[in-house]
Amino acid sequence: MLDLKFVRENPEIVKQNIRNKFQDHKLPLVDEVIELDQQSRKAKQEADALRADRKRISKQIGVLMAKGQKEEAEKMKEQVNQASDHLAELEKKEDELTARVREIMMKIPNIIDPSVPIGKNDTENVELERFGEPVVPDFEVPYHTEIMERLHGIDLDSARKVAGNGFYYLMGDVARLHSAVISYARDFMIDRGFTYCVPPFMIRSNVVTGVMSFEEMDAMMYKIEGEDLYLIGTSEHSMIGKFIDTILQEEDLPYTLTSYSPCFRKEKGAHGLEERGVYRIHQFEKQEMIVVCKPEDSMMWYDKMWKNTVDFFRSLDIPVRTLECCSGDLADLKVKSVDVEAWSPRQKKYFEVGSCSNLGDAQARRLKIRVNGKDGKYFAHTLNNTVVAPPRMLIAFLENNLQADGSVKIPEVLRPYMGGKSEIRP
């Protein structure tokens, strides 16, 4: 959420940012929120003047009563009563206007970083760099669910009976591999100085609206019926929510946390052939990282964070590339974002396995996460990034480590988490 004063003083910058994100339908919101803010401030000024006047008259009533001038005092009491009625109307109007202003401000997108490429959607994202040499083996690589089935590692039919499409049973060594990847990711991030955390897997609505846009919330979140609780779509939600309505001390920054959680997503919309199996699902597990820092440090942390993910995948011998998200592909709260994509030997292309985002002070404004600095209070900057999110990540792992005889090799760094196994065999 932007600073209202910034919108008031820079309407054309805000409008151009909206155009850059190809959200022209939101352009009228800028003028509307400025007009409503003006009305709100006018109502507040009138209310403040009435309160001051009422206080002054009340003192005069006391003086008149002390002098025995009851008739004059009663007339002034009537003035106070009339002022109170009008004040109640103004306060109601002020509350309504303030609520409407906040509602609109939540819809106006954050100002993107000048380095972000301008584009309409993810087809115009820009490749930045490749890490590792993509390899296509001289044998056919089956679809990932077929690899898992040959290893007796997945049961989609039973999952459909129990929970419907978008769910799965992982079995045997594939299930163990899934847990091994998560455990390795935990230790990988701890070794990089991040504090490990297991957060709540449900959050209240005020946290939901603090960490994401309304559009994201509708597309992603599962609500618990009869409760003010939502299942998290990623642990970033509850991890950033941990700091809601707090004043942090500048000397304690940055907070660097890595968290494990299951994640739950609606994943609305139809999906293509390549999104069957465990590619796009309603339930998965994830190791996440978040940073809460000073504004001047956020871009430095942004670069460190996505490099952590690249290094993690390269330690597993999986080629990856980074892809800069264009303006039209950025969610409303994001200042800048880069996707990490893993190589798929079967598809002969890369696919997304993680995303790193700098949200500036947007989440901090919504959640009131402030910092007590030497020059006064200011809003913190927040960032988040995926370390790894299996079972989707297992697609890249299995395809890149598949051998001609159907076995899957286990990279050395993962073997301690697999009981010393160097391969999984059908």
Total number of residues shown for the chain: 426
90 and 145 inside one domain: no
Q: What is residue 111's DSSP assignment?
A: P
33 and 149 inside one domain: no
Q: Is the pLDDT of residue 273 over 70?
A: no
**Mean pLDDT confidence for 96-118:** 96
281 and 409 inside one domain: yes
Q: Is the pLDDT of residue 200 over 80?
A: yes
93 and 171 inside one domain: no
- The confidence band for 219, taking pLDDT boundaries of 50, 70 and 90, is confident
- Choose one of 73, 105, 137: the last residue of a domain: 105
Cα(260)–Cα(197) distance, integer angstroms: 7
Tell me what pLDDT residue 268 has. 66
- Choose one of 105, 133, 168: the last residue of a domain: 105
- 115 located within any domain: no
- 26 located within any domain: yes
CATH number for the domain that contains residue 38 = 1.10.287.40
**Mean pLDDT confidence for 297-307:** 98
- 85 located within any domain: yes
User: Taking the CB of residue 398, how many other CB atoms lie within 10 A of it?
Assistant: 25
Tell me what pLDDT residue 269 has. 56
**Mean pLDDT confidence for 396-402:** 97
- 116 located within any domain: no
pTM of this prediction exceeds 0.85: yes
Q: Is the pLDDT of residue 343 over 90?
A: yes
296 and 237 inside one domain: yes
Higher pLDDT, 68 or 416: 416
Higher pLDDT, 57 or 266: 266
Q: pLDDT digits over 62-106, tens only?
A: 766 777 777 776 677 777 677 677 778 888 888 999 999 999 999
371 and 397 inside one domain: yes
- 226 located within any domain: yes
320 and 383 inside one domain: yes
367 and 269 inside one domain: yes
138 and 85 inside one domain: no
- 135 located within any domain: yes
Give me the domain span that covers residue 132: 122-424
Tell me what pLDDT residue 91 has. 84
Mean pLDDT rounded to a whole number for the chain: 93
162 and 301 inside one domain: yes
> Is the distance from CB of 4 to CB of 35 less than 8 angstroms?
no
Tell me what pLDDT residue 64 has. 66
97 and 132 inside one domain: no
Q: Is the pLDDT of residue 270 over 50?
A: no
- 220 located within any domain: yes
Q: Is the pLDDT of residue 10 over 90?
A: yes
Q: Going by DSSP bridges, is the β-strand pair 169-170/154-155 parallel, antiparallel, or unpaired? A: antiparallel
Cα(298)–Cα(334) distance, integer angstroms: 12
Tell me what pLDDT residue 191 has. 98
Positive/negative CA dihedral, 410, 413, 416, 417: negative
CATH number for the domain that contains residue 387 = 3.30.930.10
170 and 242 inside one domain: yes
- The confidence band for 272, taking pLDDT boundaries of 50, 70 and 90, is low
Q: Is the pLDDT of residue 61 over 90?
A: no
- 3-class state of residue 300 by DSSP: helix
- 186 located within any domain: yes
